[in-house]
Chain A
Amino acid sequence: MIRAAALTAVLAATAFDQTFDAGLQAYYQGDYPAAIRAFEQLVEQGVVAPEVFYNLGNAYYRAGRLGPAIANYERALHLRPDLEDARENLELCVNETERRLSKPRPPAWEQALLFWHYRLNPETTYRLALASWVALWLLLALRLIRPWPYLRPAAAVLALVAAAFAASAWTKFHPTPLAVASAPRVPVYHGMRESETVHFELYEGDRVVVDRRDEGWAQVRTSDDKRGWTREQYLTFVGPPYGPAALLADPPTGDN
């Protein structure tokens, strides 16, 4: 009977679960490239789960790829800000980077208006926004049938709440585009050509805001407000959308 139950459970497992299991097994056996392949496959297939990104971060870390590890911990924390394991691993990874460059902060208006939402995950804010929106219209409908005097201020308050959660959900689903340098040294140029002067260099694991992307180039900005252009291929974009990690390639030295 136990065997039959186990067989039923195995048969019921989805292909995604099997891939996740395969990734875990590879990780436990120290085959980190295989674990990375399995977890990346899930991401490629559209699975968006903090556990997948977190484990992918661990696998990249074990494989010595600090940049993609940091990018995946950032993804996990974006989806679940209360995932303390991811926070600690991210901190450990950042401490191992060359400069320990801090993460670029969100725009000032967002910090001022949405200071309360940084511990909420996107799904929660999305659901709260929808719930408050529906509640607002229910209240307005009630007011059509029973025009009690206190329904008007209540509707106004509910409208504000719905707007706040909508703004929160919008910023959660359209966050400031973040990328992580994924090669040991990534030259950042003044312009969109490698013949341009190298403005500064990023080290693996440095997190930057992506202001613009154009023809394989990304205009990046560091937390200390240095700006320049670099090749997209040396960056892992945190997303959403969630793409694969940057290929490990040796960037040019930056000597003109």
Chain B
Amino acid sequence: MSIRPIRIVRATAILAAFAGPLAPARYAQDGPVPVRAWVDQQNVTMGSPFWLHLEATGTQIEMPRTIQQNGLAVDPINIRNSTIVAPENGTNLRTVKRGYYVRALRPGPLLIRPIEVTIDGRLYATEPIPLRVFERPAGPADLTGGDFPPKEDLVFIEMEVDRQEVYQGEPIYLRTQLWRIADPNVNAGPFEGSLIEPPSHEGFYVKELEPRSFPAHRGDLQYDVWEERKLLYPTIVGNARIGRWHWEGVALLNRKNFTRRDRLYYDLNAGPIEVLVKPLPPGPPEFSGAVGSFSILAALGPQTVRHGETAKLSVTITGRGNADAVGAPKLPSMDDFQVSPADVQFGVHASDNPVEETITKRFTYALTPLREGELAIPPIRYPYFDPEADEFVTLTTDPITLVALPSGEIGRHVAVSNDVSLGERRIDVLGDDIRPVLDAPRAFHQQTDRTLSTAAALSLPMIAYAGLALLTGRRRGKLRAAARGEQARRRAAERLRAAATAPAPGDVVYQTLAGYLNERFGEAHVGLTAVDAARRLDQLDLNEALCRRVTAILDACERARYGAALIEGDTLASLIAETQAVLRELDTAWGRKGPRP
């Protein structure tokens, strides 16, 4: 009795469910597991690629670079990574998602084992994933079912070169193209990964160019073309081979009635291409490897410098050919100069065909004259091989003269101090070179920490202001107290003078003393009783006997006022006299400053 695959898958899933809790104890098991894995399809065809996703959340996450498992082939290049960072409780919590492009290698049930991920120093493992792998079916003749063009017209590849017979060093333009029908219901891929084997090119130096995509027609059909481009520079002589280009991929077809989605598998090859590489004839000693068609230009800026300063000699090679192999010209012997290594600038005037592109390479040397006078820069020779003329061509620049002016003391005269006017400075400008160094006034010092001095500078004015405000406030308070005392004395004297003849002299004496006290206290002139006065006076730094005398006068006046007792004659005179004495003593005690607690 044979076991049907679906049952095996179920059994595997059940085993996997049990195997989870029985996972080795080395995995962290407390709390929710912050890692998971899943596939985009659990029923897969052998050899057809699918995505295995792994997702983990934490602050420090270490995921496996690839996955090793029997029965699975993981593409080492096609790996998708994405990271989402979200702040949580003061830390940046990252959710990292990685997709592996996987193919199953054998039919039948397959279990993707737990994948280990280290999160924040702890080891976690994903749940195992059961798969069901089917053998690839042998398709009918017309796999497209009539809704689309034939399979071979849906997707195909091409590989071509612009020439098959070249000189050594002469570039070959290699293009590998994937043609995909321009139909939104057809989706073909991938464009890179282990399913694609780029052509081998032993014996060539390779310069990768940017891949590009463009629309194109072939017959009545419209295509989207994905093109990868390379420039191949032969480094060997004789027969060279550009290897086979292999593309293996999938085209997904969405049927027009939306009933199903079909997959077409492609296993396509193009090439190889044979190339004959001819040797270069023996060249002049200055030959640096340039093959093509070039021109040369030498320029010096400035042509007059002071002894010790530098001038820039630029040698520009322009033309078409093996741009990467265009080397620096071999400069003739220049004993009068110190010559710096070449600074290389590279420019390209783009063309659709990179072989036809015009390139510019500028080699810039800093020349420092070692003596004064008119110093000659000899002609610079630059040979290159012209494949169209089948011969070497040598370019030569004109001789250039550099005038090195004397400089009495190196550095001093060319240097510019801050005191020198701008007009004088201009003398030292070196064409499009940088401005000369500055000879600063000699007053360098170490920068000190200014925190304290700044704090002092900020706080001192405030402290001074506060002190001044305190002083002026006290002075104003004193003045105010003195004024109150003076006014109180004056009013009390006036009232006491009127008391002797007043109809109710007790009231007048009472108002005189109470009014005096109120004014000295700086309070409103309202009913101050003897009890109130005694309480207030007790709080002050005042002679106790004097306090009692004040309250005695007020008591006497209150008795006269509320007890209908008359105060007259000697009693009145002695009361007035006592009041005058008390007022004098209070004045003496309080002075100009007024009552103090």
| Residues in chain A within 8 A of chain B (CB atoms) | 13-14, 16-17, 20, 24-25, 27-30, 42, 45-49, 51-52, 54-55, 58-59, 61-62, 64, 85, 88-89, 92-93, 96, 130, 133-134, 136-138, 140-141, 144-145, 190-191, 195-197, 256
A27: chain B residues at CB < 8 Å are 411, 437
In B374-421, which residues have CB < 8 Å from any A CB? 410-411, 414-415
B454: chain A residues at CB < 8 Å are 130
Cβ contact within 8 Å between A16 and B444 = yes
A61: chain B residues at CB < 8 Å are 434
Cβ contact within 8 Å between B435 and A85 = yes
| Residues in chain B within 8 A of chain A (CB atoms) | 65, 79, 81, 83, 85, 94, 308-310, 338, 340, 343, 345, 366, 368, 410-411, 414-415, 425, 432-440, 442, 444-447, 454, 457-458, 461-462, 464-465, 468-469, 472
Given contacts A24-B437, A30-B310, A58-B437, contact A134 B461 (CB under 8 A): yes
B308: chain A residues at CB < 8 Å are 28-29
Cβ contact within 8 Å between B447 and A54 = no
Q: Least Cβ distance of A63 to chain B in Å?
A: 10
Cβ contact within 8 Å between B438 and A133 = no
Q: Least Cβ distance of B419 to chain A in Å?
A: 13
Cβ contact within 8 Å between B444 and A55 = no
Given contacts A30-B340, A47-B445, A47-B447, contact A137 B366 (CB under 8 A): no
Q: Mind listing 9 A-B residue pairs with CB under 8 Å?
A: A27-B437, A30-B340, A30-B368, A47-B444, A47-B446, A62-B310, A85-B436, A92-B432, A197-B81
Report the Cα distance A141→B437, complex, angstroms: 49
Q: Least Cβ distance of B267 to chain A in Å?
A: 28
Per CB-CB distance, the 7 closest pairs between chain A and chain B, nearest first, are: A51-B440, A137-B461, A16-B444, A85-B435, A46-B446, A28-B411, A17-B442
Q: Least Cβ distance of B308 to chain A in Å?
A: 5
B310: chain A residues at CB < 8 Å are 30, 62
Picked from B83, B436, B461, the residue with its CB within 8 Å of the CB of A191 is: B83
B462: chain A residues at CB < 8 Å are 137
Report the Cα distance A59→B415, complex, angstroms: 14
Cβ contact within 8 Å between B440 and A20 = yes
Cβ contact within 8 Å between B438 and A54 = yes
Picked from B79, B425, B468, the residue with its CB within 8 Å of the CB of A144 is: B468
B439: chain A residues at CB < 8 Å are 24, 51
Report the Cα distance A61→B434, complex, angstroms: 9
Of chain A, the residue at the smallest CB distance from B444 is: A16
Q: Least Cβ distance of A83 to chain B in Å?
A: 8
Q: Least Cβ distance of B460 to chain A in Å?
A: 8
B436: chain A residues at CB < 8 Å are 58, 85
A96: chain B residues at CB < 8 Å are 345
Cβ contact within 8 Å between B81 and A88 = no
Report the Cα distance A187→B368, complex, angstroms: 36
A145: chain B residues at CB < 8 Å are 468, 472
Cβ contact within 8 Å between B457 and A55 = no
Report the Cα distance A93→B469, complex, angstroms: 58
Q: Least Cβ distance of B60 to chain A in Å?
A: 9
Picked from B338, B444, B468, B472, the residue with its CB within 8 Å of the CB of A14 is: B444
Given contacts A55-B437, A134-B457, A256-B81, contact A62 B415 (CB under 8 A): no
